[in-house]
Structure formats: structure tokens, C-alpha cells
Structure 1
Amino acid sequence: MEKLQKKIGISMDEIVNTEKLIGGELRKVIYEFKEEKKKTGFPFGTLCIIHYKEYTDSFNEEIYLVAAAIELLILSSDILDDLQDKDTDYIWTKAPALSLNAVLAMLAIASKVISNSTFKHRSLALKIVNDYILLSINGQQLDLLNACQDESSYLNMIEQKSGSLTAMSCLVGFGLATGKISMQVEKYAKAIGVIQQIKNDFKDVSKWSSKNDLLNRKYSLPIIYLLSQNDENSVKIKKYYNKEAGINILDKPTLENVLLSKASIYILAIKNIYKNKSLPIIKSLISSEESKSYLINLMK
């Protein structure tokens, strides 16, 4: 998949550099953001291409441009997320007002790329993009409100916030190839997004830093689990979240111990539920062994 990701990066440069309605300064900012994004790869564009290749009868090279457009959409979503959460030090957090202009430009460019393509089913692809981006934004809104404080509502929120973006990426490729939307593809694609978000949640809460959800009194799946336990640590965390007098700090060694033992087992169990429901679908729908392996690896 390395060559594929390299091609997506080149295509991202192409669609930004050939957009005549933006000036040099804005173009430079978008390019810098794309270079920052390149460090983590282009998995969403890859998902788009995988599903297009799997189901198309005649390959259209423009799929690389569409995949690049998908990555611009994901990048714009990531930037908005980081600006709202204020818990990262990526380059786009240095000048938020300018970054918001870049986000708007990337959204418009991505839409133009898809609508100007020669794909027969480009209107379906645009509908998929619009619908699933709206679902993701709704999930982000719920996350910002910090209102999902139980397992069911939290999983529903990240299915919208993160699952919708992986579903969008897969379904755009599938839709361009077939002119249809597959609920089976949507199901395992959302599961991939949920698993990736759960992994990020656990990673964030395991690091004792300014981004730690526990220290910031935010709710995430491992924290919801810890709060559900009727033990000494659970009581302490509840008091901390309720800002009760005398509970201004948390015992780092004890909580790290609990996180690495109890919460990690719980997170693994939730991941396996999503994985076990998805594996049979992937194995039945994806014939390419390389693509199948890539999708399964995303659920580890």
C-alpha cells in the first residue's frame, strides 16, 4: 500500500496546485498542512481506492484524485477537531483564523474534484460525502458537549464522529464503481472507525499530559468504564469530575495501574466485539488478499 499512499500524496499536491481560484499564500498553507498529515499516511484515500478497485469493471485513473479529495476532507475535519479541542500543537493551531480559511478552501476543492470528475456515479459520491460529513459533524458536536457519559451513548457518538468518516471513504469508492451504497460495507467501515477511535482514546488517557481526557474531566470509553466500577478509584474520579472540595488532583501511579490493567481489558473486549462482527463480512465481500489484509489490520 506504500506506492498507493505516495500516489495519493502526489494527487493532493496536483489538485491544490491546479486550483486557480486560490492565491499563493493560501496554497502554501494547505500544502504545509498536507505535509504534516503525510506523517500519519493517507488511510482514508486508500480505503476509497481499495473499494473502487474491488468492484469496478473498468479502472479510471481519476480515482486517485478522488482519493486525494477524500484526504483533504479528512484533513479539514482533523483541523477543526484540533482547533475545537485545543489540545494539540500541530502547525494549524498556531494561527486558527488562517487555518479556518484553509479548511473552507479544502472542503470546496474536494467537492469540485468529485463533481468535475468523469465518473458516471459522481453525483452519488457527492451525496455520500455530504451525508456522512454531516453525521460526523453531529458526532463531533456531541463530543464537544461532553454529554455521552455511558457506554451506549458514547459508542453511538464515536460511530457518528469517526465511523462515518471511514464509511464515507469506503462507500465513495464502492459507489463510484457500482452506483450503489452497500450497508454491509458501511457496517464494517464504521466498525473500523470506532476501533481506531477507541484505540486513540485509550492512548490519550494513558499519557499523563495536557491532552489526557481524565485530567480534563472529559468522558471517553476507558473513563466511563472506570467510573462504572464501585471501588475507591471510581469514587475518587467521580468526586474529581464533580469538582468536589479537596479533590483537585488525581493519584497518577494508582490510576495508571488501573488503566493499564482493568480498562485495557475492557477496551480490548469492546474492540473484539466490533472486530468479530466485521471479519466475516470483509472476508465474504473482499476478494483481494492484500486489501483484505489491510482492512483486517486496521481492526487490530
Structure 2
Amino acid sequence: MDKHINESLDFLIDNEALLSYELKTLLKSFKEEKIAVGFSFGKLCFWHYEAFVDNVHEDIYKVAAAIELLILSFDIIDDLQDKDSDYSWSKIPELSLNVALAMLVMASKAIEETSFEHKRSAITLLEEHALASINGQQLDLLNNCRDEDSYIQMITQKSGSLTAMGCLIGEILAKGEVSKEVQEYGKYIGVIQQIKNDIQGLKSWGPKNDLLNKRYSLPIIYLLSQKNDVSKSVENYYNDDIVTVLDNNAIEDELTNGGAIRYAITIKNVYKFKALENLERVAINELGKEYLQKLIR
């Protein structure tokens, strides 16, 4: 399926008459860098379309590609804002921003040009969920989500909106309507993946480490709530105390053995069980279900 989505991406780029050769070349090179990660959002769309139709229309691959264009544009903008990426677009931010803007417009345009009966509803879903994700990204950049509830709300908007979007666009193109169950587990997939990233991001002391960058995530929120020597040193560091020297070994030990990582895993598992419960109520085929279960676990 990755191959079909990739071919559709090439088709959309090659056939966009309003883009210059230079923009198309950059767009393709950025897309090539993301191939190794796979087209998970496009696949969410495909499996939820395929589940509810008798015959798969080839245009679904164009819609999946359109969704991947929007996701890649968000990834580029996110990396430019965070200034922590090794991707080539971070080396030429001014030009990359134009590529990201072009992809945003191309996403809805590509869906509009398909033959699906419910394409306008799909575009509405794309726009609504994209705006919700942008709102979540704004909250993330403000770095004010410093308790469990506000942090979960933020990642639900930022990440959950995009995973839900992939699922719901596939469903609405097939049925002309969406279901609460797909909306719920689609959203939870994004929350689960974000928490996994948060945990993974604390395992190395590099430039992307959330704690070193004074960012908040569930393990860090838990750590700061403990009121011990380690948490106090981290709190001082976050408050710009220039004499604070972080003890990396003590912090790693506290994160691992003090309950912070276990706490984040527990929250992730709450959403995992909620997602699986909703998935059981949806008549999706075994291949699609297996793919979703992998993302949920």
C-alpha cells in the first residue's frame, strides 16, 4: 500500500501545473525523506474506506496521498518551529515554508478533484481537524500545559486530531457519515503515539530531550510533582536558576525508578484499552484491524 500512496504522491506533484519546477523538486525531495517512516495516516484513510465498500475505487490512493501531503506540511512547520530536526528542510527554512504552504493547499485540492460522492464532507473533515491540530500545536509551543488534564487535552488536539482525521475521511468517503467509535479510537491512537514519543524522547540526553529543553510531558509533569531533591533541581532548572547543575544520572534514575515512566505508561494504557474497546464495535476487516491494533498497542 505504501507503494500505491507514494505513486499517487508523485502523480499529484507532477501534475500540479501551478507549481514551478523548483518547488516540485523540493517537494519530491522532502517526500523522499519521509518514505522510510511510512504513510501511516494515508493507511488509516485506506483501511477505513476499504472496510465499508464492496469495491475499492483507485481514487482512494489519491485521497490517502492528499492526507500525507497535509501531514508532511505539518511536520515541516513543526520542525521549523522547534529548530531540532536533521531533515533537509530545516537547512533552508524560508524555501521549506513555501513548500509546506503549497502542500496544505494541494491536500484539499487533490480531494476536490476525485470522483467521490462525499468528497466535500471529506474536505470539511480535513479542514476542521487540521485547525484543531494547529490549535494544539500553538498550545504546545506556549509550553503552558503543566498538569495531566491540560497536557492530555493539548496532545489530543495536536496529534489525536490528525489520526482521527485519517480514519474519518476514509469512513465518510465510503458511507457518507462517520461513527462515534471511529472518532474516539482515531483520536486515542494519536494520544498513544504521542505519549510513546514522550517516553522515548527522555531516553537520550541529546538536543531533542524535552527535559533539557524545559518542555513539559507526562513523565516530567509527574517528576516535578514529587517534591524530592531531584525534582527540586529540575524545577530550579526550569525556572532559569543559573547555578543549577543537572545530575543526569540521578534524573534518569528518578524517571525510571521513581515512577515517572511507569505513570506515563499507565496513562497510555488507559487510552489503549479505551481504543481497543471502541475498535471492537466497528466492523473493519482483519487486516485493517491488525494494523490499527499495532498502532494502539
TM beyond 0.5: yes
2:255 corresponds to which letter in structure 1? L
Structure 1 counterpart of 2:82: 85
Q: Identify the match of residue 32 of structure 1 among 7, 29, 35.
A: 29
Could you tell me whether the CA contact under 8 Å between 1:167 and 1:185 is conserved in 2? yes
Aligned-residue Cα RMSD (Å) equals 1.0
What is the percent sequence identity of the aligned residues? 52
Q: Does 1:182 align with 2:159?
A: no
SS at match of 1:59: coil
SS at match of 1:298: helix
Could you tell me whether the CA contact under 8 Å between 1:159 and 1:194 is conserved in 2? yes
Farther-moved stretch of structure 1 (280-289 vs 87-96):
280-289
Structure 2 counterpart of 1:97: 94
> How much has 1:46 moved relative to structure 2?
0.2
Q: Identify the match of residue 210 of structure 2 among 208, 213, 218.
A: 213
Structure 2 counterpart of 1:258: 254
TM-score by length of 2: 0.97
2: CA distance between counterparts of 1:198 and 1:286?
A: 27
Structure 1 counterpart of 2:282: 285
Deviation string 1:129-157 (CA, Å, 9 cap, x unpaired) is: 00000000000000000010101000000
1: CA distance between counterparts of 2:288 and 2:261?
A: 29
2: CA distance between counterparts of 1:28 and 1:222?
A: 41
1: CA distance between counterparts of 2:295 and 2:256?
A: 22
> How much has 1:181 moved relative to structure 2?
2.1
> How much has 1:286 moved relative to structure 2?
3.5
Q: Does 1:69 align with 2:66?
A: yes
> How much has 1:245 moved relative to structure 2?
4.5
Farther-moved stretch of structure 1 (84-93 vs 44-53):
84-93
2:3 corresponds to which letter in structure 1? K
Farther-moved stretch of structure 1 (62-71 vs 221-230):
221-230
2:159 corresponds to which letter in structure 1? S
Instruction: State the number of aligned residues.
Output: 296
2:248 corresponds to which letter in structure 1? K
2: CA distance between counterparts of 1:205 and 1:263?
A: 11
Q: Identify the match of residue 291 of structure 2 among 290, 294, 298.
A: 294
2: CA distance between counterparts of 1:231 and 1:109?
A: 51
Q: Does 1:148 align with 2:127?
A: no
Could you tell me whether the CA contact under 8 Å between 1:286 and 1:292 is conserved in 2? no
Please list every run of at least 4 consecutive aligned residues from structure 1 whose deviation after the TM superposition is greater than 6 angstroms: none
Could you tell me whether the CA contact under 8 Å between 2:156 and 2:191 is conserved in 1? yes
Structure 2 counterpart of 1:135: 132
Could you tell me whether the CA contact under 8 Å between 1:159 and 1:191 is conserved in 2? yes
Structure 1 counterpart of 2:112: 115
Structure 1 counterpart of 2:234: 237
Could you tell me whether the CA contact under 8 Å between 1:135 and 1:160 is conserved in 2? yes
- Unaligned regions of 5+ residues in structure 2, if any? none
Could you tell me whether the CA contact under 8 Å between 2:275 and 2:296 is conserved in 1? no
> How much has 1:52 moved relative to structure 2?
0.2
Change (3 A) 1:245 1:91: closer
Q: Identify the match of residue 19 of structure 2 among 22, 28, 37.
A: 22
TM-score by length of 1: 0.96
2: CA distance between counterparts of 1:287 and 1:44?
A: 17
2: CA distance between counterparts of 1:54 and 1:128?
A: 19
Structure 1 counterpart of 2:161: 164
> How much has 1:116 moved relative to structure 2?
1.1
Deviation string 1:69-92 (CA, Å, 9 cap, x unpaired) is: 000000000110000011111111
1: CA distance between counterparts of 2:58 and 2:291?
A: 21
1: CA distance between counterparts of 2:234 and 2:53?
A: 52
2: CA distance between counterparts of 1:275 and 1:233?
A: 30
Could you tell me whether the CA contact under 8 Å between 1:206 and 1:259 is conserved in 2? no
2: CA distance between counterparts of 1:180 and 1:278?
A: 20
